[in-house]
Structure 1
Amino acid sequence: MFKRILVPLDGSVRAEQALPLATHIARTYNSIIVLTRIVDIFETVGASSIQAAALANEIREIQEKEAQEYLQRIRGARELEQPGTVIEIHTGDVATTLLEMIARGSIDLVVMSSHGYTGYKQWVLGSVAQKMVHDSPAPILIQRESYAFPCGTGSDNIRLCVALDGSELAETIIRPTLYLAAACADVGKREVHLLRVVKAIDADRVEIFRKIHKLDIQQFLYNEATSYLKEISERLNEGAAAQLGVHVTWSVSMGSDIAQTIIREVEGEIPVQHMPFPYALLALATHGRSGIARWAAGNVAERIFNNTKLPLLVVHPPKKQ
C-alpha cells in the first residue's frame, strides 16, 4: 500500500525521529522514501526588511545548498540504507508546499515528528503538522518524542486503536492501519482494535424519549454501535485483516465527552509514569458524519490531536461527490 513515503525534515534532531519508522515501513513494502526540506524565505527575511528582501535570491540559494548538503548526509546515514531514497528541496510555505508535493507525487504515506524546531520555527500540531492532518489526502503518521511508535520490535505484541463514528468516511483509516500493523510486528502479534464511543444522553431526555416513543434511545444507540463494529470486525477477520496476519477486535464505550473518552480508552484510566499505554497508536479520520454529529477537523479531532500522548495515524478522506 505504501509505495511512496514522504518524510519532511527541518534540520532538527526531533524531526529526524521519524526516520527509523519510515525506513522500517519502506523496507517491509519495498517503498520509495522521499526526503524533503522546505526552504521558507519569508520566515527568514520577513516582510518588513526591504534590504533583506532584495537579497532573497542569494539567501534562497544559500539555504537550498545547506538543505541539499543536509539531506545528502541524512540519506547517506547507515540506518537509512534504502535503495529507493530520493531527495526533494522546495521553496515556499512549509505546509502548503508539502500538500502540493503529496498531490503531485502520488504520496501514499507521510511520516513526520510532532515537534521540530522550537520557537518561531516550531512544527507542532498547532501549525504545520496540524494543517497536514486536516488537509492531506494521504495518511499522516505522526511520531512522538516522548512515546515513540514501536516498529520491528520482534517479540513484542502491538495493538493499534482505530476510532470510528459509524460513517464510511471514518472507515477509510482502517486499511492503512492494517498495513501499518502488518509492517511493525510478527504474525500472531498484530492487533487492530476498533473503538466506537456512544455519546451519553442526559437521563431526563432518555426518559422523555421512552415515554413518547416507547424506546430506550441510549440502549438503542449502544446496540447499533455494537452491531456495527461486530459486522466490520467479522468482515475484516475473514478478509483483508486475515490476509495481512492482523487480528481485529472491537469495543463500544460511552461518555459525555467523545474526545476525552477516546483518549481515556487508548491511554488507560490511570496514567502511570514509565508504564506502556494499552495501545501503541491511535488512528482516525478527520471527517466522519456530516452535520452536527461530524468528526471534522473541529472539536473532537482537534482535541484528540492536541491532548493524546500517543503517536497518531490520521487521514483526511475526500468527500464523495
Structure 2
Amino acid sequence: MFQHILVPLDGSSRAEQALPLATHIARRTGGTISLLRVIPPEVGDSTYAYSRAGVLADEVRTTLTQEAHDYLEHIAHSERLAGIGVRTRVTTDSPVQEILSYAQSEKIDLIVLCRHGFTGLKRWVMGSVAQKVVRHSPVPVLALSEKGLEAPLVHPEKARPIRALVALDGSPLAEAILPPAAQLVTAVSPAETPGELHMIRILKPPSETEERRYLAYDINIRQFYRSEAEQYLRIVKEKLTKDLPADVHVQVTSSMKEEADIATALIEVAESGYDVMALATHGRGGLKRAMIGSIAERILERTTMPLLIMRPPEPASPVF
C-alpha cells in the first residue's frame, strides 16, 4: 500500500485540491506525506513587484524561498493534516526535474497532483509540467483536473466503493499499472465494501482486406481476436487475484470493446460510470513504440476525470 505520498504545491488553492485525497490515502495506509514547493530559477524582471521596485533577483529569490517555507509549514500544521507524518521541502530548479528527483531519492510510492495551478511566479503544475511528470515518472501519478474536482474520488469523505477502469493492450508493460490501481481502489473505498477494478481491452477492428485474407482460410479474424483477448484477460485476472497482497481488496472484472479510436473509446467507457482511469505510459511495442503510451497524453488532455498513470520499468536487455 502507499506509504510515502508526494504532493507538489505551487501556492495556489487549485493545487491544494490534491490534499484531501492524499491525506485520506495516508490515513488509510498509515503513510506519510511530503509537500514539495519548487521555485523556478528564472526570475523575470517584469514579473514581480519586487523587481519593478529595483530589488535584485537573488533578493527576490530569498524572499520567495522564505515565503514558500512559511506556506508549506502552514499547510503541514493545518487541521487537515493533523496526525499524519509530514515532510516539507522548498527547492529552486526545474519543477519537473525536482519532482522526479525527489520521488526517486525519497522512495515515494505515489504522486498526487492537480494538473492545473497558478503562482505569482509562473504556471508550472499545469500543462507541460504535469504531462512531463506523468511521462517520465516511474512512480504512479494520480493526476487530478481542476475541472473535475467534484469527482467522487476527490472527495473520499463521501464514502462509497470506487470503480477504476484499467486500460490494457496485451503487454506486460501496460499491466504494470494493475497493482497500484488495486491499491488506490482499496485505499479510497470504504474498508467494509471493496471497490471494483475493471480491466478493459480495446480491439482495433481489422481492415476489410485483412478480413478477406483470413476468410480465405476459413478464419473469422474478428472472432479470433476476441477469443484471444478473452483468454488474455482471464489469465491476467487470475494472476492479479493470486498476487495481490492480503490487505488489498478489490473486485476484479473485465471486458473488451472494438473501436478504431482507442483514446476516445477509453474516455467514453471511463466517463460512463467509473471514478478513475488507470494506464501505463508504455505498452505494446515497448518504450519506443507503445500503443497505450501513445494515447496516454491524448487522454490526459481530453478528459477531466482523475487519472492514475505510471511509466513502467524498462525491460532488461536480453543476454545472449
Is the TM-score greater than 0.5?
yes
1:29 aligns with 2:65: no
Find 2:261's aligned residue among 257, 264, 267.
257
Find 2:214's aligned residue among 209, 222, 225.
209
Q: What do you get for the CA RMSD once the two structures are aligned?
A: 2.5
1:315 aligns with 2:310: yes
What is the correspondence of 1:66-105 to structure 2 with a 5 Å cutoff?
A: 66-105=67-106
Instruction: State how far apart, in whole Å, the 1-side matches of 2:120 and 2:269 are.
Output: 32
Q: Secondary structure at the match of 2:147?
A: coil
Instruction: Confirm or deny: 8 A CA contact 2:168 2:292 kept in the other structure.
Output: no
Residue in 1 aligned with 2:230? 226
Instruction: Confirm or deny: 8 A CA contact 2:10 2:119 kept in the other structure.
Output: no
Report how far residue 28 of structure 1 moved.
1.1
**1:207–1:153 Cα change, 3 Å:** farther
Residue in 2 aligned with 1:272? none
Instruction: State how far apart, in whole Å, the 2-side matches of 1:312 and 1:203 are.
Output: 35
TM-score by length of 1: 0.88
Q: Secondary structure at the match of 2:25?
A: helix
Q: Percent identity?
A: 40
**1:100–1:124 Cα change, 3 Å:** closer
Instruction: Confirm or deny: 8 A CA contact 1:9 1:15 kept in the other structure.
Output: yes
What is the correspondence of 1:145-294 to structure 2 with a 5 Å cutoff?
A: 145-147=146-148, 148=151, 149-150=153-154, 152-153=156-157, 155-186=159-190, 187-211=192-216, 213-240=217-244, 243-268=247-272, 278-290=273-285, 294=290
Can you list the C-alpha shifts for 1:38-95, whole angstroms capped at 9, x where unaligned? 011315458xxxx999933222211110100111111121111144101011101111
**1:316–1:119 Cα change, 3 Å:** farther
Q: Secondary structure at the match of 1:209?
A: helix
Report how far residue 100 of structure 1 moved.
1.3
**1:44–1:72 Cα change, 3 Å:** farther
Instruction: State how far apart, in whole Å, the 1-side matches of 2:293 and 2:198 are.
Output: 23
Report how far residue 177 of structure 1 moved.
0.8
Q: Secondary structure at the match of 2:37?
A: strand
1:15 aligns with 2:10: no
**1:170–1:141 Cα change, 3 Å:** same
Instruction: Confirm or deny: 8 A CA contact 2:114 2:126 kept in the other structure.
Output: no
TM-score by length of 2: 0.88
**1:10–1:234 Cα change, 3 Å:** same
Consecutive unaligned residues of structure 1, counting only runs of 5 or more, are 269-277
Consecutive unaligned residues of structure 2, counting only runs of 5 or more, are none
